[in-house]
Structure 1
C-alpha cells in the first residue's frame, strides 16, 4: 500500500497513527524454556492509515484491492514469505519473483458505489477478527466523512462477529456480504490498513512441510488501535454490565466450540489443579460478544490454552495477568500472544508441554501440559491462590 500511495498523490489518505518502535518483554516461561527466545523485543507498531481508492475491485476473503491492473496489498503482507488463503484454495497464484498475482474467479461480481471494506484473509477467526478487522470499524467511525457508507464484510463470518459490528458501530450502516473470493467493483473503496498481522501460512512450510523459525517482528500490533477497540467495547457494555469483583477465569476449550482441533491430552489433571485453585470456568465459544466483553473487563487473571479465545485479553484492564498453556516442538513460535500481551501492558507466562503425536500440521496436534510447571505458575501469582 505505501508504495502505491507514494506513486499516486491523487488518493486521499488520513494517517491516524504513524506507528512507532516500542520495547516489550519477550516470551516468558515457567518450567521448560525453549532456547533462543529474546528477553526483550523491539516491535514496530504498524502505521494506521485510512485511504480512499477510486475505481477499485476488492475480493472477498483477501486483503487485495485491484485498481488499474495493480494489486494493492497491506505493507505487513510479504509475498516472498507469506502464502494467502486465495492461493491455498486455488483462487489465485502469486509469483513473488516477478511481482505478479493472478486471480481465477468464477463467482459473479457485485457492484457497489462507495463502501468501507472490512474484508480480509482470516476474518473467520476470532483472534484475527478482534486484532485485524474490528478495530477498523472503530477507526473509520472516527472519520465523519464516511458516516453514511455501508460496510463490506465476508459473508461466512460468525454471527457474533456481525453482532460485534452492531454493538460497537457508532452509526447504523448497511452491511453487504461478499462471498469467499467473490469480486466487488466499487466507484470508491475506503480501506483501513491492518492494525495487526499474522501470516495465514508460510511459503517455506508449504515447500518443506517443516516449521521454520520466525522472528518476533512478524507479529505486530497497534497499541492505539487495540486501545480504541477496548475503550469502545467497555463503553458499549458499561450501561448493562453489573459491577463485579475482580474475576479469575479459566477458559475451557471445548472441541465443539473451537475451530482448531488442538486439545490438551491430560486435561482432567490440568483442570483438577485449576479448579483446586478457585478459578471460575467459562467457555467463551458459547458466549455472546457482549458477554465476553463484560466478563473480561472485570478479569484480573486468566488461564487458558493458546487459541483464538485468548485474544479477549484485549478487553482486560491493563496490567492483568495471563497463564497460557501451549505445546513445544521444533521452531515453535511464542511471540504472537506474547507481543499482544506486551502491547496491552499485560503480564503473560507460558506453561509448555510435549505434543502427543506427530500427525497433521504441528499447530493442530494435541499436547500434554507440564502440571508441575502449572502448579509453580499458580503458586507465583500475586496475591497467592489456594492450592
Structure 2
C-alpha cells in the first residue's frame, strides 16, 4: 500500500513539474511530444511565417508491400506471419534542427520547444505517450556540442540486429540527403566498445574520432542536430536497408553460388539464452547431410558476410546471427527454429526482401492460443528431429 502511495505522489510531482514554465534542461520532463517529426517541421513553418530554420528532407515515400508467406510442416502458418503479410512502411527523411537535444541511450530527440519527436524517439514495445523520459523528474546535466551532430542511436542499438538494421541504415539516409560527412562534427551512436560496431563504422568511412556514445553522454545539446529517421518499425526491415548493407559490407558478391554452396548450421551454444536443448542430437543429424557448424561470434562482420553469401542452405535457431542473412544470395534456403513461446518474424521479413526461400519450425512444447504472445524471448528450444527431417524434405534439402 505504501509503495503504491509513493508511486502516486511521484507521478503527481512529475505532472506538476511538466506544467511549470521551466525547461527540462533544468528540471522536470519535456512538456509533451510531436507524434511525427514532420508535425514539428510544419508547426515551425507556421509559427515562423514559412521561414523556419528547421529543415525536413524527404528520402523515401510511404510504401505498402505484400509478403510471401513462409513454409512449414503444418498446413497453416503462425498468426504473427499472417498479420505482417501486408505492411506499410512510413516515409523516411532527414531533419535538421538547430539547438536540439538528445537524451538517453536510445537517442531520444527533444526539440527547442521542449517536446519529444515521437517517430525518432522510440522505446521498443512502448507508446510514445508512455515514454520513460516523460516520467523523469530531472534529466542528466547537458553536454553542449558547438557543432553539428548526426543522431544514429536507436532503441536496442547496442545489439547486433538493431545495430545492423536500425542504426547503420540511418547513415544511408544521410547520404541520400546529400549531407557531406565533412559537415558533420560528431556522430552519436549507442556505444562503441564492441568489435562489430568499430568494424562497420570503419567500413562506412566514419572515423572513430568523430564518434560520441550515448552511454557516456546521456544528455547532449548541439548547435545543430541532423536526424535521419529510423528505417521503419523495428523488425520490419525495408529493402533499401538490406541493399545498403549488402553493397557496403559484402565483398566479391556472386549470385552464382546458390545450388552449389555450403550447408551451414548457426549455433547459439555460446549464447547466454535461447539455445537448442538437444543441439548435440541436432548436429549429429545434420552432419549426415554435410552441414557445417558455424559460431559467428568468433569472426568479423566481413567474414560473416562471406560465410553467409556462400551458403545454399542455412539452419539456425532464432537469434542475432541471422541478421547476416542479408548477405545471402537469392534462392538460399533458410530454416529458422523457434520455441513455441517466442516466434519473431523479422528474419522472414528480411528473407522476403532479398528473395530467400524461407521455412520455419516450432520446437516441442505446448503452443499458446492464437494471438496470445507470451514473448518468452530467452526460452530454450527443443527440436523434434523427425519434424526437422520432414521440413528439410519439404524444402528439398534432403
Rounded Cα–Cα distance in structure 2 between residues aligned with 1:12 and 1:283: 45
What TM-score results when the alignment is normalised by the length of structure 2?
A: 0.76
The one of the two structures with greater contact order (alpha-carbon pairs below 8 A, sep at least 6) is 1
Greater Cα radius of gyration, structure 1 or 2? 2
Aligned counterpart in structure 2 of residue 363 of structure 1, from 377, 391, 394: 377
Q: Over the residues paired in the alignment, what is the CA RMSD in angstroms?
A: 3.2
Quote how far apart the aligned CAs of 1:361 are: 6.8
Aligned residues, how many?
Answer: 342
Q: Distance in 2 between matches of 1:278 and 1:347?
A: 20
Q: Distance in 2 between matches of 1:169 and 1:138?
A: 12
CA distance in 2 between partners of 1:292 and 1:33 (Å):
33
Q: Which residue pairs with 1:336 in the alignment? A: 346
1:75/1:228 Cα in 2 relative to 1: closer, same or farther (>3 Å)?
same
Q: SS where residue 165 of structure 1 aligns?
A: helix
Deviates more, 1:149-158 or 1:314-323: 149-158
State the shift of 1:305 in Å. 0.5
Question: In the alignment, which residue of structure 2 is the partner of 1:232?
Answer: 248
For the pair 1:155 / 2:198, whether they are aligned, the reply is no
Cα shift at 1:251: 0.8
Indicate whether 1:52 and 2:96 are aligned.
yes
Cα shift at 1:367:
2.2
Q: Which protein has the bigger strand share?
A: 1
Q: 1:111, CA displacement in angstroms?
A: 2.8
- Aligned match of 2:86: 42
Contact 1:153 1:177 in 2 (8 A): yes
Deviations 1:166-224 (A, max 9, x none): 012377872222326711110111111111433xxxxxxxxxxxxxxxxxxxx422112
Residue 296 (structure 1) shift: 1.8
Once residues 111 and 344 of structure 1 are traced to their aligned partners in structure 2, the CA distance between those partners, rounded to angstroms, is 40
CA deviation after TM superposition for structure 1 residue 110, in Å: 4.9
- 2:213 is equivalent to residue 221 of structure 1: no
Note closer, same or farther for the CA distance 1:379–1:373 as it changes in structure 2 (3 Å cut).
same
| Aligned partners of 1:59 and 1:65 also within 8 Å | yes
Give the secondary-structure state (helix, strand or coil) at the position aligned to 2:324: helix
Q: Which of residues 322, 332, 356 is equivalent to 1:310?
A: 322
Q: Alpha-carbon deviation of 1:309? A: 0.7
Q: In 2, Cα distance between the equivalents of 1:345 and 1:294?
A: 18
1:25 aligned residue (56, 68, 76): 68
Q: CA deviation at 1:344?
A: 2.5
Q: TM-score, normalised by structure 1?
A: 0.78
Q: 2: distance between equivalents of 1:289 and 1:342? A: 22
